[in-house]
Structure 1
Amino acid sequence: MQIRKLTLISLLIAMSVMGANIKILGSIALDSFPAFIGTALLGPVWGMALAFIGHMLSAYLAGFSYSYPVHLLIGIMMMVTMFAYGLIRKRRIHLEMKTMIFSNVLAYIFNVPVSLMTLIPFYGLAGVLPLVIPLTIATVANLLLTEFVFMSLPETYKKRVATL
């Protein structure tokens, strides 16, 4: 692995730890922004790894508030979210607005309603519904931050990262 790619991945993991400390509720935090930006820049495979690591670090810092097995499931769902998000984006440097919107809507659908549906067998509908608003706030904040940073990055940097 190239030093530049390893450095970028390490930086994104460190940013996940920082974002994990900005809590919305329990382990719901701003820890997935680095995974989203990593997915946009490095592709879905690295994004999946960053999402899982980021969520598990956030869950650890929150004391695994929903239990370790549930957080493993949430980490896996974060990986699925990044795969879908990355599949649409395809590491493109220039994105059409409709592609950007579609990737964000798809990420929201996988990250909020689909992920919460996987938790219904553990907590029931009454236990999952209170998570909709905080998870929506965190997801939208992470996605907006991702798009702002992605659009702010110089084209030369995006091209350089795309070759890693």
Structure 2
Amino acid sequence: MLAALLLALCVVGANLKIMGSIALDSAPAFLGTILLGPWFGAFLGFFGHMVSAALSGFPLTIPVHLVIGLNMAFCMFVFGAIRRRWGSTQLIVILIADLVAYVIDVPEEFPWLYPLIGKTVFALFIPLTVATIANLALTEVVYMAIPNRQKQAFLLQERQHNEH
């Protein structure tokens, strides 16, 4: 049920545009990564970006958006792995995970995109930075608002699912 809700929220966020295909689609993916694990978060990150790009008409072409979607999946996986490994409630872990997610989502993505779209990639820096920070901030606010007993229930549910 939570997985379906997060998928739906990725679609809602994909409609909240900042510029072109840059939107608030990754906040549910970041949240899903924390609550349901890095693999599901990677799926949500890819799915959310591809929906956002499709709703925008794939403004940078489908191959470019596939690269961005794969980078989002990688970003979610690493973010989730950090949060899972060192704890999702410690401030230092939250800051490190958020910083690593930003680096993967913005500057690390540019070398992959430059051969495909050239100098256009630099025009994306500010809107992508704004969107990434907004998505991460929204994620952390929502995560803090979830009661601890509910967070524990999500973690237990995921562990039981992984054992089967």
Same topology, TM > 0.5: yes
SS at match of 2:58: coil
- The equivalent residue for 2:143 is 150
CA deviation after TM superposition for structure 1 residue 64, in Å: 0.7
Name the count of aligned residue pairs.
Answer: 157
1:39 pairs, out of 3, 24, 33, with: 33
Q: Which residue of 2 aligns with 1:113?
A: 107
Task: Give the residue type in structure 2 aligned to 1:157.
Answer: Q
8 Å Cα contact 2:27-2:139 kept in structure 1 = yes
**Per-residue deviation, 1:94:** 5.2
1:135 aligned partner, one-letter code? L
Q: What is the CA distance between 1:106 and its match in structure 2?
A: 0.2
- Percent sequence identity is 48
- Quick one: structure 1 residues 46 and 105, their matched pair in 2 at CA, closer, same or farther if it must change by over 3 Å? same
In 2, are the aligned partners of 1:55 and 1:75 still within 8 Å (CA)? yes
Distance in 2 (CA, whole Å) between partners of 1:91 and 1:41 is: 13
- The answer for unaligned runs of 5 or more in structure 2 is 158-164
In 2, Cα distance between the equivalents of 1:67 and 1:15?
A: 24
SS in 1 for 2:106: helix
Paired AA for residue 146 in structure 1? T
- Once the two structures are TM-superposed, the CA of residue 23 in structure 1 deviates from its matched residue by 0.6
Unaligned runs of 5+ in 1: 1-6
TM score, norm. by length of structure 1: 0.92
CA distance, structure 1, for counterparts of residue 128 and residue 110 of structure 2: 9
What displacement does 1:133 show?
Answer: 0.2
**Counterpart for residue 162 of structure 2:** none
- TM norm structure 2: 0.92
CA 11–32 in structure 1, closer or farther in 2 if over 3 Å, else same: same
Superposed counterparts of 1:114-133, under 5 Å: 114-124=108-118, 126-133=119-126
* AA in 1 matched with 2:15: N
Q: CA RMSD in A?
A: 1.2
